[in-house]
Amino acid sequence: MLYRRLLRPILFRFDAERVHHFAMAILRGLGPIMQTWARERNTRLVPSSAAKLERRVFGLKFPNPVGLAAGFDKNALVLPAWEGLGFGFAEIGTITAKVQPGNPKPRLFRVPEISGVINRMGFNNDGADAVAARLVRLKATPRWPRFPVGINLGKSKITPIEEAAADYLRSFSCLRNLGDYFVLNVSSPNTPGLRSLQDRPALDQLFAAVQAANTSHKPMLVKIAPDLTWEAIDDVLLLVESHRLAGIIATNTTVDHSAVPEHRRQTGGLSGAPVRARSTQMIRHITSQTKVPVIGVGGIFSADDAKEKFDAGAALIQLYTGYIYSGPALIGEILRAL
């Protein structure tokens, strides 16, 4: 209530990206303290329901099924904080082979009338080499989180689309020993041509190349767009199964802005409440067609929204926009309901 009634109205008065950087700075400073407190609390007062919250998905043990979606901690700057806040896993990135400043600012916009966010960030990140070095340093300390760390990979903007597979492989080769699972992000609307990688021939080539290099058999997932047709989704599922990918993340942001008030419309991907129903529909469809695990993301603002995703068949869920609107208490709300 403190966040929703007091802090959020203040924070929402300022530019969304500036507030994000402000929050990240706080989390970077307080993260180790939060992490220590969380670990001591779990050691002294292990909830009787802790075992019920654990999930084993694609060979990994998750202390609970609520994770942080990619896009929040793009450069793996505050991993200890996510453990301290109670997440069961965190996905960093999107990371590209080359350093990218992203698209011109402003590029992040709240749409409070519909509890949404529009972004056209453009995979701004420090690049695979720098992020790998940061993760190596963190892994040598006790601050490495005690939950699975996912790494979301994207295509560098300057790389021609026909060389996309090699670009993903470059990032994966840098990071392969540092992530517990990996995600091929082929569905962001903010890198020109990227969504064409969801077409069957291009996706077939990408999956084959990455899995051939995945000699350590790290769980490899793909993140898909909510704007795909049912036929296109079924094509993705066939390729996921034939190339033995470990899972699917449904969904990314949408380019359908029909729910956005005219004065709020911006170029970019829309996330939040407007994506909830479509994301759930896709999860239900995917899990009816395959046994491949699905991570559900899109429009989770409450315990009921989370339950909807699990009831549709999601094995795990991720938060981002709902976390911005509902605050850190959302994690505990969901876990108590579970």
> What residues act catalytically?
188
Cis peptide before 145 (omega within 30 of 0): no
DSSP SS3 for 18: helix
Report d(CA 25, CA 6) in Å as an integer: 20
Alpha helices in 140-265 (DSSP H): 164-175, 200-213, 230-242
Report d(CA 312, CA 257) in Å as an integer: 24
Report d(CA 87, CA 149) in Å as an integer: 11
Both tokens assigned to 100: 């990218």
Contact between 72 and 95 under an 8 Å Cβ cutoff? The reply is no
The residue assigned the tokens 């995945």 is: 214
Angstrom CA distances, 329 to 297, 302, 325, stand at: 18, 10, 11
Q: Give the phi and the psi of residue 331 in degrees, each rounded to 5.
A: -60, -50
Angstrom CA distances, 233 to 90, 203, 227, 245, 274, stand at: 25, 12, 10, 15, 20
- Cα 246 to its chain centre, rounded Å, is 16
Contact between 152 and 168 under an 8 Å Cβ cutoff? The reply is no
The residue assigned the tokens 């938060």 is: 319
Torsion angle in degrees (nearest 10) through CA of 176, 179, 180, 186: -80
Report d(CA 199, CA 236) in Å as an integer: 8
Contact between 218 and 282 under an 8 Å Cβ cutoff? The reply is no
